[in-house]
Amino acid sequence: MEATEHKNFIEQIIDSHNESGRFQKRVHTRFPPEPNGYLHIGHAKSICLNFGLAQKYNGKCNLRFDDTNPETEDVEYVESIRNDVRWLGFQWDGEFFASDYFDQLYQWAEQLIMKGKAYVDDQSAEQIAATRGTPTVPGKESPFRNRSVEENLDLFRRMKAGEFEEGSRVLRAKIDMSSPNMHMRDPVLYRIKKARHHRTGDRWCIYPMYDFAHGLCDSIEGITHSICTLEFEVHRPLYDWLIEQLGIYHPQQIEFARLNLSYTVMSKRKLLELVEGKYVNSWDDPRLPTISGLRRRGYTPAAIRHFADKIGVAKRDNIIDVALLEFCIREDLNKIAPRTMAVLRPLKVVITNYPEGQTEEVSALINPEMPQLGSRLVPFGREIYIEQDDFMENPPKGYFRLTPGGEVRLKYAYIIRCEEVIKDAAGNITELRCIYFPESKSGSDTSGKKVKGTIHWVAAHEAASAEVRLYDRLFTIPDLSDIPEGKDWKDFINPHSLEVIPDAKIEKNMLQASIGSIWQFERLGYFCTDPDTNKSNKLVFNRTVTLKDTWAKAH
Ligand code: ATP
Ligand code: MG
């Protein structure tokens, strides 16, 4: 382990426990998602933290599904969560469900009743909310607060037996209605929900509240450090109170700042709204910050882990610039993505002095960052495609690409000069006639020519078509927590977050690219083959990220 000064505050707490012997030097964390949506990059932060601590301290980490809200949860989500955690590179020690513990939790609720520490309240949710008071004004005690243990037990058992309507009764802890901490003002522990649970079916019609279940599940599993986000700091007294009342094993809850990312939303509720409202195509839409969306976009587990590491653990909420996430993926893909050339908006170039019927192959490194991978051969011929915006008829000063009469280098190949611009009846440029200089070939250039620009290209005789999807920020403002009055967060969805290029030109050998493989299209960015490739019988690529940050300049 590193020296203390490099440790984050959670590691320092663990070290102090190891010194005092509080947990017999054990470290056992858990990642506790509620299976009510797909995981996002914020969860990835929590996963890397919890599994990372277990690895560092030679401990364990459980995957626990916090499934106490039957209406919103589903097995589809359970499976996607398992898949995402594994994909990020982690294997859990135990896999548990809060619902596995419903019997034990129920027993503990009865114990609290028997100790006079919990009561059945017949007030409605509205009445309970109205009598809670405010942080500065004490709440009012419920008229049902001083029921006898026998009556409470009887009512709670009948709640469990399904005798009462939803919303007609709850079980509350009996703590302190004038506590300065609102969470200690007789919090609700159980409510009636006549809903089918994805695992326990119709066996239960009362379900524990998160605050009741969470710490007790931690206790059952022997968790040492229960790491959660900052908003649960004010719940910690209740976490501790329940465990102390029951006299059971006591984990330590530790809070850290949740990850917020600029230009996106992270709450599952909002993500669900985007999916269901068809603002995006699916949970794995490459524009979403979901783990499945990032994967489809071309993010690698290593880049996400690196990002989680770089942002560290903070004690105060902040917004991380999404540019940092993009930096991490660029850094990773630069090392691992093979290079190829593709042309998004093709303009045909005919090299008039290149012999008709002749072709050749020019050599390029697979990845200049990894010269040991060797070279690839790129087909070249008389007709090629270049990008439309690599040619300008009336160029501004400082434009070093192709112009009428101007010269430019075709990457890995020859220098060409534009001799003629062909246009259609409407005046659109349809083709360029150029000449090439045979002695200017890259690697053996004896032409003595100096050109300032180098552009990419694809040989027409070896070109295939592909659909390319270019993505931009999903929102137009960086901080979605700061919506002006009278506006909805969805008003700030970027209408140009997806641009589809229907007919880009790629090298024919790219037709072999497997789904999910990631490439650098030279000068254009990193691109990942999309699963829609199979559906559409045509290669579909998602741009993961551009080579350089163009956002800051353009907006
Ligand atoms: P959401 O608001 O997106 O639904 P949640 O906290 O309700 O998030 P859970 O499934 O309960 O989602 O979260 C599982 C774990 O992931 C919790 O320990 C939670 O603290 C953590 N987590 C969730 N969102 C973030 C985030 N943005 N940054 C860091 N950790 C997070
Ligand atoms: Mg939650």
* Per-residue pLDDT tens over the stretch 344-377: 999 999 999 999 999 999 999 999 999 999 999 9
Q: Residue whose CA is closest, atom 29 of ligand 1?
A: 258
**Cα separation of the two ends of the chain:** 44
The finding on whether 229 has its CB within 6 A of some atom of ligand 1 is: yes
Closest CA to 219 of 124, 98, 132: 98
Q: Which residues are catalytic?
A: 34, 258, 268
Average pLDDT over residues 482-496: 94
Relative to the alpha carbon of 77, which ligand is closest? 1
Sequence-distant (6+) residues with CB within 8 A of 151 are 120
Residues facing 407 on adjacent strands: 417
Ligand 2 center–CA 420 separation, angstroms: 64
The three-state secondary structure class of 6 is helix
CA pair distance 433, 384, nearest whole angstrom = 11
Phi/psi of residue 269, each to 5°?
-60, -45
Q: For 44-63, what is each residue's pLDDT tens digit?
A: 999 999 999 999 999 999 99
Relative to the alpha carbon of 313, which ligand is closest? 1
pLDDT for 417 equals 98
The secondary structure element, H or E, covering residue 242 is helix 236-246
Residue type, position 118, single letter:
A
Give the number of other CB atoms < 10 A from CB of residue 254: 18
Sequence-distant (6+) residues with CB within 8 A of 317 are 230, 257, 258, 260
Closest CA to 551 of 334, 399, 323, 325: 323
Q: For 159-216, what is each residue's pLDDT tens digit?
A: 999 999 999 999 999 999 999 999 999 999 999 999 999 999 999 999 999 999 999 9
The finding on whether 280 has its CB within 6 A of some atom of ligand 1 is: no
Burial of 28 per CB tally in 10 Å (0-12, 13-18, 19+): buried
Q: Residue whose CA is closest, atom 18 of ligand 1?
A: 228
Ligand 1 center–CA 43 separation, angstroms: 6
Vertex 166: Cα angle to 164 and 169 (nearest 5) = 65
Ligand 1: nearest atom to the Cα of 266: 3
CA pair distance 520, 365, nearest whole angstrom = 12
Residues found in the chain: 555
Ligand 2 center–CA 361 separation, angstroms: 57
Sequence-distant (6+) residues with CB within 8 A of 394 are none
Closest CA to 527 of 507, 551, 554, 552: 507
Ligand 2 center–CA 284 separation, angstroms: 20
Phi/psi of residue 411, each to 5°?
-50, 135
Contact 213, 68 (CB under 8 A): yes
pLDDT at residue 555 above 90? no
CA pair distance 249, 104, nearest whole angstrom = 14
The finding on whether 43 has its CB within 6 A of some atom of ligand 1 is: yes
pLDDT at residue 269 above 60? yes
Ligand 1 center–CA 68 separation, angstroms: 15
**Tokens representing residue 325 in the block:** 């996430």
Q: Domains along the chain?
A: 23-256 (3.40.50.620), 261-338+466-554 (1.10.1160.10), 342-456 (2.40.240.10)
Q: For 83-112, what is each residue's pLDDT tens digit?
A: 999 999 999 999 999 999 999 999 999 999
CA pair distance 307, 200, nearest whole angstrom = 38
Burial of 278 per CB tally in 10 Å (0-12, 13-18, 19+): exposed
CA pair distance 457, 440, nearest whole angstrom = 16
Contact 267, 294 (CB under 8 A): no
Supply the pTM of this predicted model: 0.94
**Tokens representing residue 311 in the block:** 């942002």
Band (1; pLDDT cuts 50, 70, 90):
very low
pLDDT for 328 equals 97
Percent of the chain with pLDDT over 70: 98
Q: For 275-328, what is each residue's pLDDT tens digit?
A: 999 999 999 999 999 999 999 999 999 999 999 999 999 999 899 999 999 999
pLDDT for 86 equals 98
Mean pLDDT of the chain: 96
Relative to the alpha carbon of 39, which ligand is closest? 1
Ligand 2 center–CA 523 separation, angstroms: 42
Closest CA to 524 of 508, 507, 543, 542: 543
For residues 554 and 65, which has the higher predicted lDDT (pLDDT)?
65
pLDDT for 351 equals 98
pLDDT at residue 2 above 60? no
Relative to the alpha carbon of 34, which ligand is closest? 1
pLDDT at residue 401 above 90? yes
Percent of the chain with pLDDT over 90: 95
The three-state secondary structure class of 361 is strand
Ligand 2 center–CA 470 separation, angstroms: 32
Q: For 7-44, what is each residue's pLDDT tens digit?
A: 999 999 999 999 999 999 999 999 999 999 999 999 99
Protein residues near ligand 2, an ion, with CB under 5 A: 34
Band (482; pLDDT cuts 50, 70, 90):
confident
Ligand 1 center–CA 33 separation, angstroms: 7
Half-sphere exposure of 500 (CA within 13 A, CB side): 5
The secondary structure element, H or E, covering residue 526 is strand 525-529
Phi/psi of residue 40, each to 5°?
-120, 180
Q: Residue whose CA is closest, atom 14 of ligand 1?
A: 33
The finding on whether 226 has its CB within 6 A of some atom of ligand 1 is: no
Q: Which of 38, 45, 46 to mutate to test the pocket of ligand 1 (most atoms within 8 A of CB)?
A: 46
Give the number of other CB atoms < 10 A from CB of residue 117: 17
DSSP state of 105: H
Vertex 216: Cα angle to 211 and 219 (nearest 5) = 140
The finding on whether 69 has its CB within 6 A of some atom of ligand 1 is: no
Residue where the block lists tokens 């008389």: 382
pLDDT for 549 equals 67
Ligand 1: nearest atom to the Cα of 232: 20
Q: Which of 43, 271, 273 to mutate to test the pocket of ligand 1 (most atoms within 8 A of CB)?
A: 43
The finding on whether 64 has its CB within 6 A of some atom of ligand 1 is: no
**Tokens representing residue 459 in the block:** 């040989």
pLDDT for 535 equals 85
The finding on whether 383 has its CB within 6 A of some atom of ligand 1 is: no
The finding on whether 287 has its CB within 6 A of some atom of ligand 1 is: no
CA pair distance 524, 516, nearest whole angstrom = 18
The finding on whether 228 has its CB within 6 A of some atom of ligand 1 is: yes
Closest CA to 64 of 40, 43, 33, 87: 33
Contact 155, 120 (CB under 8 A): yes
The three-state secondary structure class of 518 is strand
The finding on whether 32 has its CB within 6 A of some atom of ligand 1 is: yes
Average pLDDT over residues 242-256: 98
pLDDT for 552 equals 52
Q: Residue whose CA is closest, atom 25 of ligand 1?
A: 42
Band (534; pLDDT cuts 50, 70, 90):
confident
pLDDT at residue 413 above 70? yes
The number of angstroms, rounded, from the C-alpha of 118 to the middle of its chain's C-alpha atoms is 40
